[in-house]
Structure 1
Amino acid sequence: MAGPFSDMTETIFADKSVLSEEYQPEEILERDQEIEEYRYALQDVLFGRDPKNVMLYGKAGLGKTAVTTYMLDALATEVETREQADDLHVHDVNCNGKTLFMVVRRLVNELLPPHASDFPKRGLGTGDAFDELYTQLDRIGGTHIFAFDEIDHLSGANSLLYELPRARSNGHLNEARIGIIGISNNYTFRGDLSPKVKDTLMETEISFSPYDATELKTILLDRADRAFIDGGYDMSAITMTAAIAARDMGNARQAIDLLRVGAEVAEKRGEYCVTDEHIEEARRLVQRGRLSNRIRDQTEQAQLVLETIARLEEQGNCPVRSKEIQAHYKTVATSWGVEPLTTLKSIQDHLSDLHMLGFAKRYDRNEGLSGGQYYEYELDLDSDLVLETREEIEHEE
């Protein structure tokens, strides 16, 4: 008896990993200027001097992390051929969701000898962790570059960026040299740093701007040639994908994801060439997924109010006043076992937020002396998407 996968004998992909977020390209395209700035910022390492500190700014998907990995790999390779250069040690840390103590502790444990006990999670403070970090750095010696991704998410960023660059001048280090690379999605991050940190860093700033459609097309063509079988894509589909991503955020990650989903759409249909039609369907699916994630980001009560509007929309009862939304909201909240909000004002506050976020349309009505002024609301996105997302959320819990 044939199994459920027995008829899956063909694929549009030659190497699907090329379209994954984890893929690190051997060559970085359309970032020549940023690479040149990076090259001069890191050159002191080749001559046994203290590395410069570097801060990278730009929204997600613009190549900051990929360029950093590429440059540090290239630097490590070059260091091996240079007599003047010290041994190079690179430490990558993603700061998202981490405290300063967690970051320093992780670095300590990374540097400890193989048979040493880990630095304890409790009982010692951040100052103790820094002391142990300096001990281990000097034990190992050489040049150490710390690449802190999403550093704008670290609450103790001021302390970290003040402490590490001054470690050698403050006498904490004699054998080791330190350089810092900070990667931030927030262009205003530097402005939030204290004046003494800014003076200490004296960093090279590299800003990553959004890609335009031509640049994205170059990147997509390179990925498509590696990812798909011969004849696996139409050039017009690549052009369309680049244009969609350029109009949205200029984000390479978004463009590559869109191309991958387009190929999955084609393969699911038993077709083995990505066309404009597949990309258009992928755009709809990706947009739907993004909206679903935005719904999930809302509080439970905001989701329930949104679900209420969606149900009224399905019944053809929108636009609708907040009083009627409140009446139906109580039924929706109770059906999910949630204690409903009791005041109309609380419902109106959520409606105002949902309008501001683009989830709901709001209409200003004025019926004069007889009816007065009031707002009416209706959904500003697909009601099926809201209801499907809410069902998924409730069944996950």
Structure 2
Amino acid sequence: MTNAYVALADGRVFEARCRAPGRARGELVFTTAYTGYEESLTDPSYEEQVLTFSYPLVGNYGVRPERFESERVHPNAAVAREFTDDVAEWLAEADVPAVDHLDTREIVTSVREEGAMACGIAAGPEATPADARAELDDAVPMSDHTEIGAQVSTPEAYTVAGGDEADVALVDCGAKGSIVSSLTERGATVHVLPHDTTPAELTDYDPDVLFLSNGPGDPATYGAAETLVSEFLGELPVAGICLGQQIVARAVGGETEKMAFGHRGVNQPVRDLESDRVVMTTQNHGYSVADPGPLEVTQVNVNDGTAEGLDHEEWNVLTRQYHPEANPGPHDSLGFFDDVLAAVEASPRVAAD
């Protein structure tokens, strides 16, 4: 039954089946992950986007809240070749439009060839192609979502106790829950702070490390987080994941850029330049570091050579473009969190204590 439409910026309109009704718009992106649909749909980095699954069947092992990365679904809409009833019902309850029974292979190929593009979706008994086109006309480029950090960040600071290994100030630009658990499982206590935390507010927590999280949108819109890095660089160890790496690079004079279609999936190969070892990683980002400034590029993406790891020994900086917490995905890079805590132990500030 055709009762949904997906309008693309290139002029095409796909007919589809409505699995969760509603209208939506956003940047159309795709993930290549075979599993992890619960984690992907609750990943704050998908805020203001329309997520297409390249794997044809989404939902074949149900929906379990303990696998969620946040408290809600973040994409504006979801697209698949086929959604199971479990996933469709979950998305309907979340008021997130979902459509299937369309050629997702063609959509993914289009995004790879033309880049991430705006789309509009209309789903439901009364939906028309004109409705989908109207949504498309109102779509806003990701770089214009200047307040996107406020949409995904915690409104108030809170602390998750894990132990006395380190006090981590995690600047929440859209942090996945598994980043917090990866740190607390290693004995760190994590202070989760709003994305617009000021230097004075951060000082009140007397942290051992400044940690910038993942998140959605253009890193250029996270000016407050950049200021924190600039203020405490050289005083505190600085770590970052995904968007966090981009913010750190910008804070030290580097540059970031929009990618054609980004890296999204659990099979991205990354080569460590020192060991020449390749690991498989989980990724979800549409921007990358074009110029690292004074930071050293230590890891690169095997497919396109983009910076996947940045270090600075003197400043005690350690960042990764991928998601070492690996939810979903391979566990090849979990050691990043051990490296961050080791950097804290080695810092002059901690040694002095």
The structure where helix makes up a greater share of residues is: 1
TM-score by length of 1: 0.23
Which has the greater radius of gyration? Answer: 1
The structure where strand makes up a greater share of residues is: 2
TM-score by length of 2: 0.25
